[in-house]
Amino acid sequence: MRAIGKIKEAKKDEVKVCRSKGAMWAKEAIIQAAATVFSKKGFHGATIEDIAHEANYSPAALYKYFNDKTEIFLAHLEALKKKFFAVFKEPPPIPLSFENRLRWILDRVFTIAEENRSIFVSFVSQRLDLIGEEEARIKKEVRVYFNELKEIVSNLMKSGIEEGALFRGDPDEHATFFSGIVHAFVFSWLNSGGKGSLKDKEEKILEYFFNGAGAGNNLKRTIGGKK
C-alpha cells in the first residue's frame, strides 16, 4: 500500500512539473507575441486582443498568465534586461584590453539585439514615450533598468581609467558619453527600418568614443589618453 501511495504521489508531482513547464512555455510565447505587437503598434496602440491573436490564444486564456497589458510589457522588459545584463557581467573567455572588451561587448549586445529584434525594437522605440506617461509600474521598472545599466557601464569605464585606456575623469560621464554614441547609432538603425547589421557599426562607435569626430590632430585623443 505504501508503494502504491508513493507512486501516486510521484505521478502528482510529475503532473505539477508538466503544468509548470506548460505555463512557462505559454508565458514565453505570449511575451514573444507581445514583443512583435509592441514593435508594430507601440505600447499604447497594442491591445490584449492583438497580443492574444499574435500568440494564437484567446484573450480569456491569456488572462490566465497575465493580469493586463502592462504586466506583459514588464515581463518582456525583464527578459530583455536579463539577456543584456549577462553580456556585461560575464567575463570574456580570454583576457582582453579595454578597447577589445568594448568591442567584444558590442558584438554580443548587437548579436542579442538582432536575434531578438522584436523585443529590442519595441523596447528601444517606446523608451522615451513610456518615461513621460502615467503607467507608474512601467516608469518605475524602466528607471530601475537604466540605473542598473548605468552602474554597470560606469564600472566598465572605471576599469578603462585604471588601465590607462581612458583619461582620468568621472566614470559616469564616460558611461553617458559611450551610451549616447551607442544609442545614436541604434536609433539611426531603427529609423532605417533595421536595414543591414548593427555589427557593421561597431568600429565606427569605437572610433567616435576613443577619438571623437574632430578632424585635426590637435583635437584627436589616442586610446592611451595622450594627445
pLDDT in tens, 198-220: 889 999 999 999 998 776 555 44
pLDDT one-digit tens code per residue, 102-132: 999 999 988 888 877 766 766 666 554 554 4
User: Which letter does DSSP use for residue 168 in this model?
Assistant: S
Can you give the pLDDT at residue 128? 46
Residue ranges of domains in the chain, CATH in brackets: 2-219 (1.10.357.10)
Side-chain-side CA neighbours of residue 54 (13 Å): 21
Q: Crossing angle, helix 69-89 and helix 2-45, to 10 degrees?
A: 100
For the record, the C-alpha cell of 153 comes out as 557601464
**Taking 90 as the threshold, does the pLDDT of residue 13 lie above it?**
no
**Taking 60 as the threshold, does the pLDDT of residue 168 lie above it?**
yes
Can you give the pLDDT at residue 106? 93
Residue type, 215: A
Can you give the pLDDT at residue 203? 94
Dihedrals φ, ψ of 198, to 5°? -60, -30
**Burial (0-12, 13-18, 19+ Cβ within 10 Å), 20:** exposed
pLDDT one-digit tens code per residue, 60-108: 999 999 999 889 988 888 887 888 888 888 888 899 999 999 999 999 9
User: Which letter does DSSP use for residue 170 in this model?
Assistant: -
**Taking 90 as the threshold, does the pLDDT of residue 227 lie above it?**
no
Q: Sorting pLDDT into bands at 50, 70 and 90, what band is 225?
A: very low
**Taking 60 as the threshold, does the pLDDT of residue 226 lie above it?**
no
Q: Sorting pLDDT into bands at 50, 70 and 90, what band is 160?
A: very high
Residue type, 153: V
pLDDT one-digit tens code per residue, 15-57: 444 455 678 889 999 998 988 888 788 777 889 999 999 999 9
Q: Are 34 and 52 in contact (CB under 8 A)?
A: no
Please report where in the chains the cell 513610456 appears, as a residue.
130
**Taking 80 as the threshold, does the pLDDT of residue 189 lie above it?**
yes
Can you give the pLDDT at residue 1? 55
The pTM of the whole model exceeds 0.75:
no
Q: Are 154 and 175 in contact (CB under 8 A)?
A: yes
Three-state DSSP class for residue 117: helix
Q: Are 172 and 197 in contact (CB under 8 A)?
A: no
